[in-house]
A and B are shown apart, each in its own frame.
Chain A
Amino acid sequence: AQTVTQSQPEMSVQEAETVTLSCTYDTSESDYYLFWYKQPPSRQMILVIRQEAYKQQNATENRFSVNFQKAAKSFSLKISDSQLGDAAMYFCAYRRWGDTGTASKLTFGTGTRLQVTL
C-alpha cells in the first residue's frame, strides 16, 4: 500500500519570504502522480500543483514549485514570495497511474499547517 508522510505539522513564514514544505512517499509503482493541495479555513480543497512521475522536470505554477526526487521518493513544495492568502493546510497526495475506479483514488499525507506572518 502507498503511504504519504508529511513530517512538518506546522510551518511559519514571513510575508514575501520563501518556505519549503516536505513530503515523502512510499510506493512500488513506477508510474504515478503526486499533488499538493491547499485547504484554507473554508475547507475547500484546492489543487496547487501536480507532478507526473515520468517527468524529470519539476512542475512550476507561478510562485509554487516542487522538488521531485523520484529515487529518494521525495516531493517538496516551495512557495516563493509568500502571501497572507497562502496561510492554509497543505496536503501532499499520491495517486496511482490508472483511469478507473479505485485505482485513481488519492492517498493524502497528514498535512502541514502554514502560517504567514507580517
Chain B
Amino acid sequence: GAVVSQHPSWVICKSGTSVKIECRSLDFQATTMFWYRQFPKQSLMLMATSNEGSKATYEQGVEKDKFLINHASLTLSTLTVTSAHPEDSSFYICSARDLLGRELIEAFFGQGTRLTVV
C-alpha cells in the first residue's frame, strides 16, 4: 500500500519557538493532504486541508497564523506551529490522498508527531 512518512515522530520545544512537521507521500502524488490534531483519548479533529499549489482551507476555530500549512509539491506538506505554547502540546497526524483520486484507495496516514511544548 501507499506510504505516508511524517517527521519528526516526537519533538519537544520551548514555549515561544516554532516547530515544523513534515508529511511526505513516498510512492504516490498527493493532491490533497489533511492535518489532524488528536488529544489524549480523544478523536481526530481536522485542522486544515491543503491542496498542492494553493492556500490551505482551515476548519472553524483553527488559527491560520498559528498553524501555517504549506503544500508546495505533490509529495510534501508541512505544518508549522508558530510561537508554540504548552496548550499546543498534542498529537498531530497528516494524511494524503492519491493524485488519481482513486475512490477505492483511501487517504493514507502518517505515523503522527507528538509535540510537547515546555
Contact = CB atoms under 8 A, between A and B. Distances in A.
B51 A45 contact: no
Size class of the contact patch on chain B: 20 to 34
A99 interface: yes
A11 interface: no
A85 interface: no
B93 interface: yes
B49 interface: yes
Contacts of B42: 110-111
Contacts of A46: 109
Nearest to A50: B106
A104 B57 contact: no
Interface residues of A, number: 24
Contacts of B43: 91, 108-111
Nearest to A47: B106
Interface string A66-104: 000000000000000000000000010000000111101
Closest A-B pairs by Cβ, 4 of them: A45-B109, A99-B101, A108-B43, A102-B49
B57 A101 contact: yes
26 contacts: A33-B103, A42-B111, A43-B38, A43-B93, A43-B111, A43-B112, A44-B111, A45-B44, A46-B109, A47-B106, A91-B43, A91-B44, A99-B101, A100-B51, A101-B49, A101-B51, A102-B57, A104-B32, A104-B101, A105-B46, A106-B44, A106-B95, A108-B43, A109-B43, A111-B42, A111-B43
Most chain B beta carbons < 10 A, residue from A33, A45, A104: A45
B25 to A, nearest CB: 15
Interface of B: 31-32, 34, 38, 41-44, 46, 49, 51, 57, 91, 93, 95, 97, 101, 103, 106-107, 109, 111-112
Given A109-B43, A110-B43, A100 B31 contact: yes
A35 interface: yes
B106 to A, nearest CB: 5
A91 to B, nearest CB: 6
